[in-house]
Structure formats: C-alpha cells, structure tokens
C-alpha cells in the first residue's frame, strides 16, 4: 500500500467533481440540485455511470439510496460502507457531499488498480436528500435506512407545492415499497464517510485530516406565544400582554441555558421569529419562535430544552400570555467507533498526513447510519470554512489527502 499515492488519480477526480457541479438547476458556479428534480436525476445518472465504468454493481432502493458494490472475496460478509450525498441546497457549491461520493469512488478505483482484493465487499452509498430543501427534513435516505423515519411518516411528507414524497419518487422512477428501505443493524460491518469540514478549524491549524469523534445532533423547538394585540398608542403599559416582549425573554433564556452547561459543544440558536401582525403601531399579539439546540451529548442537550420549557411556563404565568412549546425533532447525537478511528489514524500516519480529533457540529448521513452500524468520519479542510455557498472550495491537495487516507482505511477494514 506504500505505492498508493501515485496511483491516486486526483486530476480525474477533480474533473469529475467539476462535471458533477455543472449538473445544476442554476448557472455555474452555482450548484443547486434538489432531490427528485431534473438536475438531481442527471447527477445520479452521471455518478451511476462512473460506478458502472469502475466495475461496481449498482442498485437502488425505493427512496433512491444508491449502492455501488465492489464484491469482496467473501460476499456473505457484511460490507464496509462509504459514501455521502450529491443533492445540494439552492446556491451551493461543488464539494459538500460530492467529495465523499466521488472521493469514495476514487478510493475504490485506486485499490482496484493496485490489485487489492477485499475480503469484505466495499459499498459506495449515495444517500437520497441529505439536504432538507424539498421536504423540510434532512438525511431523508439515511434516516429511512436506519428506521429513524418510518414509511408512514415519510408518506406524509409534502414539498412546498403540496406534492407528496410518494408521488414524486415514483414519478421519477423510484418504485417499490418504502418498507424495504430500512435495514436492521448489521447492514454494514462499518461505515466511514469522507466530508469537507464546513468549518475553519483544519485550515486555521494547517492540519490535513480531521478524525471525527462525535457528531452533534440538533433538536428543534417551536414556541408559540399568544398575547393581546392593541393600539401601540392607546394601550397603556400596565396590563399589556405583549407577545414579542415575552418571546424576547425566552430568546435570552435559551442563550443563558446553553451557556450555563459550561460545555463548549452546547449551542442554541433562535433563527426564526415571526411577529404578528408586524406593524409598527400595533402590539404584537402572536409570536412564533423556532430554535435549534445542538450538542454531542444528548442528555445535556435535552436538559437545555427542559430548562427553556420551564421558563416558558414561568413567563406564561408572570406575563399572562400563553406559551406553547413543541419539540419538532430531536435526533440523538452519535459517538464514532473507536476501531474505525484507529484505522483512520493509522492510515493518516502511513500516508504522512497530519491529523487531529474533532467534533462534527453539522450533522451528516453518518449520524443516522450510526443507528445500524459503527461509523466514523474524516474531514478535510475547505477554504475559509465556507460551505453551502458557490465559493465553497477544497484544494486538490486536501481532497487527495482525504481520498488517500480513506483508501487505506477501506483496505484495512475490508481485509
Ligand atoms: Zn454534506
């Protein structure tokens, strides 16, 4: 495996990333590929063709998760999985997800060129709709694969035009019962995902590879405050039930609750505040807040949510408004597998790449795969930590480092 480096075809990989990026609903360099849209389907066809050309056998499940398999010497053993996603939010860039898919493919091609024979099969996975753009829920494919979203719940999903998930997937050729998407633990022996960091840490420290030890998970909370509207001049201050003033207390209480855990990994954000009626001379009668609370420690995150729920009750009593809170979604965080992390670390050392352990603060498909298989992720740097923008950029050097380490790791895990 010491000769791996010259075997990597990074120029071809970069060219393929650019070709994939050009398949977009928007003009280059803007990448927009919404699940089951025309660009998504063309991008899938492009990647499937590359997989077939590489000698992999390709299959799809009813939600469009795509599996490209390199059969191992012992095909009855559970495979080693790798992969990511190729859908892209509106106005995105070339690298998010795609580096994990095409980089995973290049890792497999490299091992094949070297004449390596895996004992376990190696499977490249392209997960459907990691981005929540169309249906408002992220990691649709990996979520269903791991039974974190039931077929019944999936059938209720609608896009903004009111078209159902079932209607859209079947219209685009993904048929069959949604019940067959889920797999029990053991579907993969181990799973490892290569991804750009989407943050500035690796670049700032000049480190090649991030070994992800934990994947933080968000809980989202919707809070509706109902007060009493009225004329901003004619209603005197005593006795007002201003919904926005009450909501402001909740925003600050959430910030305090996140800080009070004392853990750097606890973060909380109120990103949406809808004020009704929204007129300068009218007392707000109704406010809807949406908050995102994340941590790598599930119980600690949930304690922040319990704190804010008790503040909701306290504010309601004191201000005479009604406050209703609802947990919209709360996925458990994931801890990465020590054995895979060790393999990644050894591979990085063998490849002469510097590395550090880190936390993934964004979530990825691996968060859900973790429910049915041991997972780990490796990060490479991206310029300025910028992601989800057209100027997202990862250098050929850092992509090459990631693919090199991934190839060695896949070889080790599949042996
Ligand atoms: Zn991604």
DSSP string, 197-240: -SSSHHHHHT-SEEEEEEE-EEEEEEEEEE---EETTTS-STT-
C-beta of residue 234 within 8 angstroms of C-beta of residue 277 = no
Residue 116, CB half-sphere, CA atoms under 13 Å: how many? 28
pLDDT in tens, 320-357: 999 999 998 899 999 999 999 999 999 999 999 999 99
Dist. CA 99 → ligand 1 center (Å):
9
Q: What is the pLDDT of residue 387?
A: 94
Taking the model in full, what pTM does it have?
0.90
Distance from Cα 260 to the centre of ligand 1, integer Å: 30
Question: What does pLDDT average to over the chain?
Answer: 96
- C-alpha 155/C-alpha 167 separation (Å) is 9
Express each pLDDT in 258-315 by its tens digit.
999 999 999 999 999 999 999 999 999 999 999 999 999 999 999 999 999 999 999 9
217-271 pLDDT, tens digit each = 989 999 999 999 999 999 999 989 999 999 999 999 999 999 999 999 999 999 9
> Does the pLDDT of residue 1 top 90, yes or no?
no
Query: Could you tell me the distance, in angstroms and rounded to a whole number, from the CA of residue 216 to the centre of ligand 1?
Result: 14
Q: How far is the CA of 6 from the centre of ligand 1 (A)?
A: 28
Distance 377 CA to ligand 1 centre (A): 12
Residue 83 alpha carbon to ligand 1 centre in Å: 10
Q: By the 8 A CB rule, do 62 and 178 touch?
A: yes
* Ligand 1 center to 20 CA (angstroms): 15
In the chain, pLDDT over 90 holds for what percent of residues? 95
Q: How far is the CA of 92 from the centre of ligand 1 (A)?
A: 11
**How far, in Å, from the CA of 279 to the mean position of ligand 1?**
39
- Tell me: pLDDT of 167 over 80: yes
Q: How far is the CA of 302 from the centre of ligand 1 (A)?
A: 25
Residue 87 CA to ligand 1 centre (angstroms): 9
The answer on pLDDT for 411 being more than 80 is: yes
Q: Residue 98 C-alpha to ligand 1 middle, in angstroms?
A: 8
**63-104 confidence digits (pLDDT tens):** 999 999 999 999 999 999 999 999 999 999 999 999 999 999
Instruction: Give 89 Cα–ligand 1 centroid separation in angstroms.
Output: 10
- Segment 188-202 shows an average pLDDT of 97
Q: Ligand 1: distance of its center to the CA of 303 in Å?
A: 28
Strands in 1-79 per DSSP E:
31-33, 57-60, 66-70
Query: Distance, CA 196 to ligand 1 centroid (Å)?
Result: 8
Question: Mean of the pLDDT values across residues 15-36?
Answer: 95
Residue 75 CA to ligand 1 centre (angstroms): 30
Quick: pLDDT tens for 346-396: 999 999 999 999 999 999 999 999 999 999 999 999 999 999 999 999 999
Ligand 1 center to residue 85 CA distance, Å?
6
Per-residue pLDDT, 3: 62
Ligand 1 centroid–CA 45 distance in Å is 19
- Note if the bond before 55 is cis, omega within 30 degrees: no
- Ligand 1 centre and the CA of 127: distance in Å? 10
> Residue 6: what pLDDT?
62
Distance from residue 161's CA to the centre of ligand 1 (Å) = 25
pLDDT at 318 over 80: yes
CA distances from 297 to 218, 266, 401 (A): 11, 8, 30
């Amino acid at each position: 495996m010491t000769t791996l480096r010259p075997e990597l075809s990074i120029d071809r990989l970069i060219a393929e990333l650019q070709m994939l990026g050009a398949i977009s609903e928007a003009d280059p360099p803007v990448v927009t590929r919404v699940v089951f849209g025309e660009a998504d389907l063309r991008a899938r066809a492009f990647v499937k063709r590359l997989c077939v050309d590489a000698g992999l056998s390709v299959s799809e499940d009813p939600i469009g998760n795509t599996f490209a398999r390199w059969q191992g010497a012992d095909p009855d053993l559970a495979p080693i999985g790798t992969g990511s996603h190729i859908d892209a939010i509106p106005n995105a860039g070339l690298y998010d997800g795609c580096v994990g898919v095409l980089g995973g493919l290049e890792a497999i091609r490299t091992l094949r060129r070297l004449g390596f024979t895996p004992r376990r099969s190696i499977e490249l996975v392209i997960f459907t709709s990691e981005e929540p753009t169309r249906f408002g829920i992220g990691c649709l494919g990996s979520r269903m694969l791991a039974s974190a979203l039931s077929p019944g719940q999936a059938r209720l999903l609608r896009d903004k035009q009111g078209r159902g998930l079932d209607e859209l997937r079947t219209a685009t050729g993904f048929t069959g019962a949604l019940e067959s998407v889920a797999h029990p633990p053991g579907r993969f022996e181990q799973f490892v995902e290569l991804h750009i960091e989407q943050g500035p840490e690796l670049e700032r420290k000049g480190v090649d590879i991030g070994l992800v030890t934990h994947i933080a998970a968000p809980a989202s909370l919707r809070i509706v405050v109902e007060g009493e509207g009225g004329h901003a001049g004619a209603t005197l201050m005593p006795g007002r039930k201003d919904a926005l003033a009450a909501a402001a207390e909740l925003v600050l209480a959430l910030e305090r609750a996140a800080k009070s855990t004392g853990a750097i990994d606890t973060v909380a954000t109120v990103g949406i505040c809808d004020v009704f009626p929204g007129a300068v001379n009218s007392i707000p009668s109704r406010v809807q807040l949406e908050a995102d609370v994340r941590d790598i420690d599930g119980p600690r995150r949930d304690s922040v949510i319990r704190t804010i729920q008790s503040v909701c009750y306290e504010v309601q009593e004191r201000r005479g408004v009604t406050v209703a809170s609802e947990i919209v979604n709360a996925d458990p965080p994931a801890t990465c597998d020590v054995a895979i992390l060790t393999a990644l670390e050894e591979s990085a050392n063998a490849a002469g790449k510097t590395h550090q352990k880190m936390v993934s603060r964004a979530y990825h498909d691996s968060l859900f795969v973790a429910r049915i298989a041991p997972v780990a992720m490796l990060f490479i740097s991206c310029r300025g930590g910028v992601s989800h923008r057209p100027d997202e950029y990862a250098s050929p050097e850092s992509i090459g480092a990631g693919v090199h380490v991934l190839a060695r790791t896949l070889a080790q895990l599949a042996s």
